Amino acid sequence: MMAAPVWAQSITAPGLIGSAACAGPGEATAPVSGSVTNVSTTGVTLLSGTYNNLFSALRALSGDGGPTEFVIQYKVRNARTNAQAATASAGRITSSNPNLNASNLPISSLAAKTAYVYTVETTASGFGEARPLLRRCFMTGGTYTPANESGQPGFVANTTSGCFSISPRTPQDIRNCLCGRSRIWNNDAQNTAARAALGCAN
C-alpha cells in the first residue's frame, strides 16, 4: 500500500481564538469587555460590549488631575511585528457623552497564518497601547502542507510528523494546524476537549 502524495495531506485551519493565540502580552479586560469571532484565513469579527458610564471608570483609573476626555479606538496589530493592520474610531468619551456603545466590526484583508492582537484603546495620557481597555488574541487560519504524515516515511508521532513538522514553527502554528483537522482524537469527548483546550475556532 502506497502513502498518499504530500499534496493530499494539506490541512486548512480555521484559526485560533484566545490565549492560545497570544504572541506577546496576554489577554486583558480592564475595564471593557469584548471578544473575537468568525476568524478565518483573512478575516475576523471583533466585538466589544456596552459600557455605561465609561467616563467615570476611566477618570477613576487616571486619578486626580487626569484627562477629562478619552478618544476611543479599536485597533488590530500584527502580534509579532506590531504593524497596525486595522483601526476604527469609537468617538470621544466625556462627561456629557459617558457611555461606550457595543460594536461589531468585521475586519478583512488580514494575512493568513498570522498572530494578531485586538485592542480597545484610548489615546488619553497614561493609557495607549501599553494600557489598553481590552486586549484579545487571535491567529488567522490558512492551509498547511506538513511533511511526514501518518503512513509516510519518517513519521514519528507528536514530534517531527504532521503539524509538528512545520518549519519554522511556533506553538501558535502547531495549534492552528491541529485545529484544521476535524478530528484530533477518535473519542468524541476527547476530541471536543482537545479542540477547546487548543483554542480552535468553531
Q: For 54-81, how does the pLDDT look when each residue is reduced to its tens digit (9 = 90+)?
A: 999 999 988 878 898 999 999 999 999 9
| pLDDT given for residue 2 in this prediction | 38
Q: How far apart are CA 81 and CA 69, in angstroms?
A: 30
> Mean pLDDT lowest for which of 9-18, 67-76, 155-164, 172-181?
155-164
**156 or 26, greater pLDDT:** 26
Is residue 165 pLDDT above 80, yes or no? no
The rounded percent of the chain whose pLDDT value lies above 70 is: 88
pLDDT 10s digits, 29-59 = 878 999 999 999 999 999 999 999 999 999 9
Average pLDDT over residues 140-167: 72
138 has pLDDT over 70: yes
pLDDT tens, residue by residue, 168-199: 678 888 888 888 887 777 788 988 898 888 88
The mean pLDDT value for 78-94 works out to: 94
Closest CA to 9 of 169, 191, 180, 173: 180
